[in-house]
Amino acid sequence: MIGIVIVVLSSFLLSVMIVGLVLRISHKKSWYDQIDERKIHTGAVPRLGGIGFALSFIISASFIIFFIPETHFDPRFVPVFIAMILTLVYGIFDDFRPLVPRYKLLLQIVSALCIMLPGYIFNRLFYFDIGFLAGMNWFWYLISLFWLVGLPNALNFIDGNDGLAGGVSVLIALSYALIFASFDAAGVVIILCVCLALSIGGFLVFNMPLPRAKIFMGDGGSQFLGFVLALLPLVHQDPSALPLSYAAALLLIPILDTTAAVWRRIREGRRIASPDRSHIHHKLMNLGFSSRGVDGMIYGLQIGISFLVFVSTRLQGIPSLLVLCGAYLIGILFFTAIHYANRHVMSRNLPDTESLPNVSSL
């Protein structure tokens, strides 16, 4: 038990050390983030901070699963580690030289298959069975594949403000741990959730807007983070494992932001991967919020959603579904309100076209 505590606490210190080292090397090598249409920062800021918390988590998880007897090694974790390492490697490569989208998708599918082939998939929508989904294994494999490929990209979309993606991920990881612990579930997954939260915390020492981030997590960090957050509900396979609807509720913020972005780009006839400045953090900034204010608003929303999801897991039947629907409703109403408020502000800032000269006749 003492060994587990030491490893868990060390994940924070290890993350701080690796991120600090990456920060120094990045400045020396001029490995800085490229500014595009989506970015809101200025100046030379390194973007490889995800290496720090990813390596910290992988090292800590390796000790916990492979070397500490109390956690009971499961050989199915081997392909899980292969998938995490693959996700980190192609993500880092993408930071230096952007991958062709179809190759990136192929690598994401390979990582997802490393999780699914050992049997780590969703197998229910709620805590009770729904008759028409019984025996439809192909459906759960398809949903799990979409989940494991989609979440890394969703985390990447909200990684646009200092401390945002990292802070939200800490809250989600701790929510997982709290829910699993409330069921007296297998301790290894709870420990992994806490290790992930502490590893991200070490990165946030350098990434919070105090006054501004010294380093970003980059695509490598956001891809890895989204993949692990998608993975954790799947590797927990006893009766207390989170069903799909509860796991999706905890990750509702990146899911809604991604859904809005995809719909927006399809409607405007643009590529889905094309950057823009219409994500939830951009809209909040258009409304006058500072970087800290954006973090505070989104953190508060995540805490509210996580609380409702936790309460819904402690209830049964109709009351549980009503509280869970409340979590979804709060998230949807928040995004809807911010969307229309932003549209109102942007329309007021547009020039009055009626007062401009008619240049077509010139």
> Is the omega angle on the peptide bond into residue 211 within 30 degrees of 0, that is, cis?
yes
Q: Calculate the dihedral angle through the C-alpha atoms of 59, 64, 69, 74, rounding to the nearest 10 degrees.
A: -90
Q: Which of 58-62, 73-77, 154-158, 329-333 has the lowest mean pLDDT?
A: 73-77
pLDDT at 354: 44
Kindly indicate the confidence band of residue 131, based on its pLDDT and cuts at 50, 70 and 90.
low
Q: What was the pLDDT predicted at 130?
A: 64
The residue-averaged pLDDT of 173-179 equals 95
CA 16 to chain centre: 20
> C-alpha distances in angstroms, 124 versus 61, 127, 144, 210?
27, 7, 11, 42
Q: Which residue has the higher pLDDT, 265 or 309?
A: 309
Q: Long-range pairs for 30-37 at CB < 8 Å and ≥24 separation?
A: 31/96, 33/216, 33/218, 36/275, 37/275, 37/276, 37/277
* Range of lowest pLDDT (124-133, 168-177, 239-248): 124-133
Residues pairing with 32 in the sheet: 46
Structure-model confidence comparison of residues 76 and 178, the more confident one: 178
Which is higher by pLDDT, 348 or 81? 81
User: Does an H or E element contain 305, and which?
Assistant: helix 291-314
Angstrom distances, CA of residue 10 to CA of 53, 175, 262, 304 = 12, 21, 39, 30
pLDDT band, residue 132 (cuts 50/70/90):
low
Q: Rounded CA gap, 188 and 72, in Å?
A: 8
| Cα dihedral sign, 235-241-244-245 | negative
Name, in order, each residue with C-beta under 8 angstroms of 120's C-beta and a sequence gap of 6 or more: 76, 80, 144, 231, 234, 235, 237
Q: Worst-scoring range by mean pLDDT, 98-112, 151-165, 265-279?
A: 265-279
Q: Give SS3 for 46.
A: strand
Which one-letter DSSP state was computed for residue 89? H
pLDDT at position 109: 96
> What pLDDT does 38 receive?
56
pLDDT band at 200 (very low <50, low <70, confident <90, very high): very high
Query: Residue 239: what pLDDT?
Result: 63
Tell me, what's the pLDDT at 362? 31
Say yes or no to pLDDT of 134 above 80.
no
124 SS3 class: coil
Whether residue 222 contacts residue 104, with contact meaning beta carbons closer than 8 Å, is answered with: no
